[in-house]
Amino acid sequence: MTRKLAQLLMAGALLVPMTVYAQSGTTPATTASPLPAAPGSVPAAASGPAGSKIGTINIEQAIIASNEGQRDFEALSKKLEPKQTELKGMNDEIDSLKKQLSAQGEKLNDDARAALVKQIEDKQKRLDRSVQDARDDAQQQQNEIAQKILQKMAPIVVKYAQDNGFGVIIDTSNPWPNGPILWSALDMTKPVVDAYNLQSGVPAPAKPAASGGTRPAGSVVPASKPAPQAPPK
């Protein structure tokens, strides 16, 4: 389940690391994140003595691994299944027309061949627009889920840091070499997730029976193929 939801978020490129949580009485800082940050949505850390340890947390993984995250992303995946089915049908129709063109192209007269090529191109354009719209919609809904959880999780991160003597917390959602942290022995992802699950009261989702499963919402449709050109005479 966690791997599936991780693929969902990574495919949508939802989360850019929050870089640093500091225990200086300020709010956790964000850097170039596409998640909408509502003013005052993340409470400031309570004042208190700053610790000396530097810790890490994978915020993206924490959101995904939380019971609430698993529940909500799975619900979104199921919600998007009808759109995935619709787009797959459009893609299959285009593939069928391409096969028809490949098999009959040389037998068709110029007008019939040009008409078939134009039909494929028009359907391809409609599919491409529908794919982009579906991806934008899926990403927006994923962002909303992630932001909702992040706002409630941030104070737990700060409290855990204060209670355990951390002065700085660095997000490792962007792994090395793209991120600055190669390895850390002081990772707080799991205890923060455990604390969040306890506070949220959301039970762990039941493990589904083994099956082919559905595609994650991030992979809304298969990559569309360009429309073919009319074969040479």
Same domain, 11 and 64: yes
Judge whether 100 lies within some domain.
yes
Query: Domains in the chain: how many in total?
Result: 2
Domain range for residue 40?
2-71+140-200
Same domain, 117 and 176: no
Q: Give pLDDT, residue 229.
A: 54
Judge whether 122 lies within some domain.
yes
Spatial CB neighbours of 144, under 8 Å, sequence gap ≥ 6? none
Same domain, 193 and 110: no
Same domain, 6 and 67: yes
Q: What residue has token string 């995904």? A: 64
Judge whether 225 lies within some domain.
no
> pLDDT digits over 43-92, tens only?
444 445 567 899 999 999 999 999 999 999 999 999 999 999 999 999 99
- Of 137, 165, 184, the residue that ends a domain is 137
Same domain, 12 and 64: yes
From the number of C-beta atoms within 10 Å of its C-beta (0-12, 13-18, 19+), residue 101 rates as: buried
The span from the CA of 27 to the CA of 158, in Å, is 9
- Of 98, 118, 137, the residue that ends a domain is 137
Same domain, 21 and 67: yes
Same domain, 131 and 168: no
Judge whether 215 lies within some domain.
no
> pLDDT digits over 108-133, tens only?
899 999 999 999 999 999 999 999 99
Same domain, 146 and 133: no
Helix (H) or strand (E) holding 57: strand 53-57
